[in-house]
A and B are shown apart, each in its own frame.
Chain A
Amino acid sequence: MGETSIKVENVGMEFNLSQEKVDNLKEYVIKFLKRELMFQPFWALKDVSFEVEKGDRLGLVGMNGAGKSTLLKLISGVMKPTEGNIEVKGRISPLLELGAGFDPDYTGRENIFLNGALLGYNKEFIESKFDEIVKFSELEEFIDVPIKNYSSGMRARLGFSIATSVKPEILILDEVLSVGDVKFQEKSREKMESLMDSEVTLLFVSHSVDMVKSFCNKAIWLQHGKLMAKGPVDEVCELYEEWVHSDKS
């Protein structure tokens, strides 16, 4: 038994799916007076429990809307669960939506510092990693150009390079291996593999079961917010694929 890295206990996440989203005061008052304020609860996750040990590489499989991204957001601390508990030990590096924290008017250089700061690093640390980030992203010529003039591939390359410049203890990957051109994809795949030694805990979301199988040693299957199966990757993926095929026929 290794050390527990992530512990998810009876987690539920409730959203309010009202027909019309009331986001202004005028409508709110009118609807309140007419008693039309509707609250339609929707549980994106319900009663989900599992543990991830340090060094585990956990794959998340499931259909669209099964609650995979919600679960990742809960683990990364971006959202708080409506009920239940989540314990996380170690520094998380989120690779969801690469480059979300970029400022378009900032140059590549300035964005490295801004993004590093958002990930919780200090100035000295980012300075020490700066050359490595620039080199890996292959953006040496464009580093003093504002990001708004970058192509989307260049932006993603920079985001990927920043997020993976530090060896995190927990790495969250949400289908990001399709970054940049073929050459860079190959390179980022290698980088991922180099990060994935016994120290790193990985959470990996993909629609491709083959990818999950090749990266992960364990998996969980979510369906409509419920945990359908957890365990070794082959078992879970087999159950999942069986279900997918039976559902189609």
Chain B
Amino acid sequence: MNIEIFNHRFFANFKKYNFLLRELVSRDIKIKYRRSVLGIFWSFLEPLLSMVVLTIIFSTFFKRSIPNFPVYYLTGLLVYQFFAGGTNGAMRSIKNSSSIIKTVYVPKYMYSLSSILSNFITFLLSLVVLFIVMLATSAPFTIYIILAALPFVALLLLTIGMGLILATVNVFFRDMEHLYGVLLMMLMWAMPIFYPAEIVPESFRFIQYYNPVYAVISCCRSVFLYGTPYDPMTLLFAMVSGVVALIIGIALFYKYQDRFILYI
């Protein structure tokens, strides 16, 4: 396939289905909170409550090594929750839209992308909780907070890339859903979300170093918790991982998308 034609069709289609993307994203968000009394406040309340619980439990354990446990935990939790929610949603997106995919032609990545974007919006909203907790615990508000935008971009690229890979795999192998649940749990425990990074023995630290999600978390902790700029190499690693994941995701998705319909 000619690259130029490919690009052209992609952009024309993206423009045509732009409204659809917005509809799908707002559908995801609306349906999630419909008929719940507190509605959208759940995206604030949920991390807040889990923070309170874990702070009570763990802040006594790690009192010395983690100075501001609530902020330490929240930065880790919010980033992890977006990654887990976004990739999980994208993984199920193609299968869940099977009836419509069989009826109308729509670029199929729209379903995966919309699911990730709706999670991203919830993630951005839940940052309000982080700011409130930062105020309450008198964490430093510095200009470096603006720098958080870059790791967020890296995180979004990584999530889209992983989401597309998982969506493709899940069409052909349904047990991916169960397997991925386990993988996500491993990911959560392998990262210092609620324990200090230092308690992991030196010989196992590589698990942290080569984890792009943790790279994003540690960038966020630098700006939100410590009020310092982050290590550019950490950001670079996260960004490169994001771009690589995205390229693999797009390539895989485009290679197999015409066969989706035979399996859903």
Q: Judging by beta carbons under 8 Å apart, are B27 and A97 in contact? A: no
Interface string of B206-233 (1 = CB under 8 A from A): 0000000000000000000000000000
- In the complex, B125 has a CB within 8 A of chain A: no
A100-B263 contact, Cβ under 8 Å, with A106-B27, A120-B16: no
Interface string of A13-29 (1 = CB under 8 A from B): 00110000001111010
A94 touches which of B22, B27, B30, B103 (Cβ 8 Å): B103
Q: Judging by beta carbons under 8 Å apart, are A123 and B27 in contact? A: no
Segment from B66-74, B81-89, B168-176 that makes contact with A: B168-176
A100-B102 contact, Cβ under 8 Å, with A25-B179, A117-B19: yes
- In the complex, B255 has a CB within 8 A of chain A: no
Q: Judging by beta carbons under 8 Å apart, are A119 and B19 in contact? A: no
Tell me the residues in window 240-264 of chain B with beta carbons closer than 8 Å to chain A beta carbons: 258, 261-263
Q: Judging by beta carbons under 8 Å apart, are B99 and A117 in contact? A: no
Q: Nearest A residue to B16 by beta-carbon distance?
A: A120
Q: Judging by beta carbons under 8 Å apart, are B105 and A78 in contact? A: yes
Interface string of A100-126 (1 = CB under 8 A from B): 110101100010011001111111000
Bound CA span A135–B23, Å: 23
Interface string of B54-96 (1 = CB under 8 A from A): 0000000000000000000000000000000000000000000
Residues of chain B within 8 A (CB-CB) of A123 are: 19
Closest chain-B Cβ to A206's Cβ sits at a distance in Å of 18
Residues of chain B within 8 A (CB-CB) of A80 are: 258
A25-B31 contact, Cβ under 8 Å, with A76-B105, A97-B103, A117-B20: no
User: Size of chain B's interface in residues, with CB distance under 8 A?
Assistant: 30
Residues of chain B within 8 A (CB-CB) of A97 are: 99, 102-103
Bound CA span A78–B101, Å: 7
Q: Judging by beta carbons under 8 Å apart, are B261 and A78 in contact? A: yes
Q: Tally of A-B residue pairs with Cβ under 8 A?
A: 77
Q: Judging by beta carbons under 8 Å apart, are B175 and A96 in contact? A: no
Q: Judging by beta carbons under 8 Å apart, are B103 and A96 in contact? A: yes
The secondary-structure label for the interface of chain A is loop
Q: Judging by beta carbons under 8 Å apart, are B103 and A100 in contact? A: yes
Tell me the residues in window 16-55 of chain A with beta carbons closer than 8 Å to chain B beta carbons: 16, 23-26, 28
Tell me the residues in window 51-105 of chain A with beta carbons closer than 8 Å to chain B beta carbons: 73, 76-80, 92, 94, 96-97, 100-101, 103, 105
Q: Judging by beta carbons under 8 Å apart, are B104 and A76 in contact? A: yes
Q: Judging by beta carbons under 8 Å apart, are A73 and B176 in contact? A: no
Q: Nearest A residue to B172 by beta-carbon distance?
A: A23
A100-B99 contact, Cβ under 8 Å, with A23-B172, A23-B174: yes
- In the complex, B106 has a CB within 8 A of chain A: yes
Q: Judging by beta carbons under 8 Å apart, are A78 and B31 in contact? A: no
Residues of chain B within 8 A (CB-CB) of A23 are: 172-174, 263
B17 touches which of A76, A92, A110, A120 (Cβ 8 Å): A120
Q: Judging by beta carbons under 8 Å apart, are B258 and A24 in contact? A: no
Interface string of B11-52 (1 = CB under 8 A from A): 000001111101110010011001000000000000000000
Q: Judging by beta carbons under 8 Å apart, are B175 and A24 in contact? A: yes
Interface string of B181-214 (1 = CB under 8 A from A): 0000000000000000000000000000000000
Q: Judging by beta carbons under 8 Å apart, are B173 and A28 in contact? A: yes
- In the complex, B100 has a CB within 8 A of chain A: yes
A103 touches which of B19, B22, B27 (Cβ 8 Å): B27
Residues of chain A within 8 A (CB-CB) of B18 are: 122
A118-B99 contact, Cβ under 8 Å, with A15-B262, A24-B175, A25-B173: no
Closest chain-A Cβ to B46's Cβ sits at a distance in Å of 20
Bound CA span A80–B108, Å: 13
Top 6 closest pairs, chain A to chain B, by CB? A77-B105, A117-B20, A24-B175, A100-B103, A25-B173, A101-B100
B-side residues, CB < 8 A to A, are 16-20, 22-24, 27, 30-31, 34, 99-106, 172-176, 179, 258, 261-263
Q: List 23 A-B contacts (CB under 8 A).
A: A15-B262, A16-B262, A24-B174, A24-B175, A25-B179, A73-B261, A77-B105, A78-B102, A79-B258, A79-B261, A94-B104, A97-B103, A101-B99, A103-B31, A110-B27, A113-B23, A114-B24, A117-B19, A120-B20, A120-B106, A122-B18, A122-B19, A123-B19
A-side residues, CB < 8 A to B, are 15-16, 23-26, 28, 73, 76-80, 92, 94, 96-97, 100-101, 103, 105-106, 110, 113-114, 117-123
| 14 more A-B residue pairs beyond the given contacts A23-B263, A117-B22, with a C-beta to C-beta distance below 8 A | A24-B173, A24-B175, A76-B105, A77-B105, A78-B101, A78-B105, A79-B261, A101-B103, A101-B104, A106-B30, A110-B27, A114-B23, A117-B19, A120-B106
